[in-house]
Structure 1
Amino acid sequence: MPGFKTVGWACVFALYMPLIVLIVFSFNDNRSVVKWTEFSLRWYAAALENEGTRNAAWMSVKVAAVATFFSTIAATMAALATTRTTAFRGQGLVYGIINQPLMIPEIVTAISTLSLFSLIKQLTGITGVGYLMAAHTAFCIPFAYMPIRARLEDMTLTLEQAGADLYATPWQTFRHITLPLLMPGILAGAMLAFVVSLDDVIITLMVAGPGETTLPIYILGALRRGITPEINAVSTILVGVSVLLVLVLFLVQGKMKK
């Protein structure tokens, strides 16, 4: 189509030029984020030596890992229940309920989650990071659900029916046939859920309690004191982790296809 290439390059420029600027100035020796002097790794060293950064990063990883684990399990079960069954009345409503968090503004989800957890805390007196993990798990389910369901819809029932014909139980069929074929979709869903949880701000800002500062919240607080190359360095590390996850996913999927 005429102009398609121009629009495509314009989108690429708008999406990735800010990242390039951020990465370049994270290696700047000068404290200024607009004036380049010389190449240096001092801000990466400062970020790694910063106890606040390390604690926030560890909290982000813990919350994201727990949310990824449980949301991927729930999403896999939901995908199996909505694709490996005959069509039933209200199936469209089920799809809508599962994907509803994607359509509701995140601030609304954050406020409603905060209200629910505040009520539970008042009734039970129980506090802790579990509330933040539960909020991230619920929010990540539809992100994990989409690639898993897409993978299931692309899989034919031939091998599963063959297993049943050879007297395999439903569990044996799932374990030896369905699950290995579904694993690329599960890995894609888990990766997407992990990244979404890792960089979430709004829900975390509302739900997190004292001592539960994640890395994005820590960066947001640091930005209020002014942008420094140390923030650029931390952000570059986050970008690197995301890219690494994508590369690992592609390598694993490539080996599974072989």
Structure 2
Amino acid sequence: MTRLGRWVGKHLMITLGLLVLLYMYIPNFIVALMSFNDASQSRNLYQFQGFTWDNWLNPCDPLGMCESLRVSISIGLAATLVSTIIGTLAAFALVRHRFEGRSTMNLVLFLPMATPEIVMGSSLLALFVAAGFGGQLGFWTILIAHIMFCISFVVVTVRSRLGGLDSNLEKAAMDLYADEWQTFWRITFPLVFPGILAAALLAFSLSFDDFIITNFTSGQTVTFPMFVWGAAQRGVPMQVNVIGTLMFLVALGAVIGGEVMSRRRARGRVRAAS
């Protein structure tokens, strides 16, 4: 019993962790499976009718799907770039500096995260209409809305990384005659970069996935989530599962690639130190 108890204690946590991960990824596995589903004869999208490669060979068959995907990716990349830059600068300001109105700024930055999306979307629509953009809703109004709510998530992510940064490393660099610019680019930025990258990935996923706020501010522009919602009225094409599987694989590849690169850099630093 003692040996069995030690074995259970040693492997229980990792077993539970793997089970939780498996449970979380079940929807992704179903989406990947259904991307090979030949459901042309049935409106029951999640009843496997037969195996086919046609969905992968013709991912743009549903008219307008690839165009909506292009719009979502364009908005997501632009929103990610702008919100990551602004959010990172704001996080540095909040962590490294004390200024009047700092607590108020903290509150204002967290409000978009706590506000229901339907409230935010309707408020933004009212703002755009009042500003005279009611007849020009489209790509740019969606982009402005996405940047607005992505900034908060970037600030929170980068700020948590900065909060755990050891300031003694920067002081040591300055003691070795590095100026502030050299210290930032050679010490601070590499240490904060994983947090910035995580914030960028989070911002892109939030922007790409958003439907409610986009629905209020889109006008005639159709993003990928809006296309899926519209197609659901007639029956979602199986090619949607192909796009979902591809996005999942790209995200998984980015995470694994980043982890491999960080481990290689860590091994390189250990070898250099030895």
* TM class, shorter-length: 0.7 to 0.9
- 1:121–1:127 CA contact under 8 A, matched in 2: no
Task: Give the conservation status (yes or no) of the 8 Å contact 2:77–2:204.
Answer: yes
Unpaired segments ≥5 residues, structure 1 = none
Residue 103 of structure 1 aligns with an amino acid whose one-letter code is A
- Give the counterpart of 1:106 among 117, 120, 144: 117
What is the percentage of aligned positions where both structures have the same residue?
A: 34
- Partner residue of 2:147? 137
Q: Kindly provide the CA deviation profile for residues 144-180 of structure 1, in whole angstroms up to 9, marking residues without a partner as x.
A: 1222111111111123223444555433432332222
Q: Does structure 2 retain, via aligned residues, the 8 Å contact 1:44–1:234?
A: no
Would the alpha carbon gap of residues 14 and 156 (structure 1) be closer, same or farther in structure 2, given more than 3 Å must change?
closer
- Which of 20, 28, 36 is residue 19 of structure 1 equivalent to? 28
Shift of the alpha carbon at 1:72?
0.5
Q: C-alpha deviations, 1:176-229, integer Å up to 9, x for none? A: 32222211111111111011111111111111122x211111111111112342
Q: Does 1:221 align with 2:230?
A: yes
Count, aligned residues = 254
Partner of 1:80: 92
Is residue 185 from structure 1 mapped to residue 185 from structure 2 by the alignment?
A: no
Residue 118 of structure 1, aligned match among 126, 129, 133: 129
Retained in 2: the 8 A contact 1:26–1:232?
Answer: yes
Change (3 A) 1:192 1:249: farther
CA contact (8 A) 1:187 1:249 kept: no
Name the stretch that deviates more: 40-49 or 99-108: 40-49
Query: In the TM superposition, what is the alpha-carbon distance from 1:256 to its structure 2 partner?
Result: 4.9
Alignment CA distance shift 1:175-1:35 (3 Å): closer
2:272 is aligned to none
Whether 1:237 aligns to 2:246 is yes
CA distance in structure 2 between the partners assigned to 1:66 and 1:76 by the alignment: 15
Of 89, 94, 97, which aligns to 2:105?
Answer: 94
- Residue identity opposite 2:247 in structure 1: L
Match of 1:52 among 64, 86, 91: 64
CA contact (8 A) 1:72 1:144 kept: yes
- Bigger mean CA deviation after superposition, 102-111 or 232-241: 232-241
**Partners of 1:140 and 1:197 within 8 A in 2:** yes
Bigger drift between 54-63 and 10-19 goes to: 10-19
Distance 1:254 1:118, change over 3 A: farther
Task: Return the letter of the residue paired with 1:121.
Answer: G
| 1:140-219 correspondence runs (5 A) | 140-165=150-175, 168-210=178-220, 212-219=221-228
> Is contact 2:228-2:236 (8 Å) kept?
no
Q: Is the 8 A contact 1:57 1:214 kept in 2?
A: yes
Q: Which residue type is aligned with residue 20 of structure 1?
A: F
Specify every segment of 5 or more residues in structure 2 that has no aligned partner in the other structure, as ranges.
1-12, 268-274
**Contact preservation (8 Å) 1:199, 1:216:** yes
Query: 1:230: how far off?
Result: 2.7
Whose radius of gyration is greater, 1 or 2? Answer: 2
Deviation at 1:98, TM superposition (A): 1.1
Taking structure 2 as the reference length, what is the TM-score of the superposition?
0.80
- Distance in 1 (CA, whole Å) between partners of 2:190 and 2:16 is 40
Matched letter for residue 156 of structure 2: M
User: Judging changes above 3 Å, is the alpha-carbon distance between structure 1 residues 118 and 178 closer, same or farther for their aligned structure 2 residues?
Assistant: same
**Quick one: distance in 1 between partners of 2:39 and 2:139?**
38
For 1:99, the aligned partner's letter is F
1:55-81 residue CA offsets vs partner (Å, 9 max, x unmatched)? 111111110111001100111111101
Structure 1 Cα separation of the partners of residues 197 and 236 of structure 2: 35
- TM-score of the superposition, structure 1-length normalised? 0.84
Cα distance between partner residues in 1 of 2:265 and 2:91:
21
Choose the corresponding residue for 2:38, options 29, 44, 52. Answer: 29
Aligned mates of 1:92, 1:154 — CA distance in 2: 20
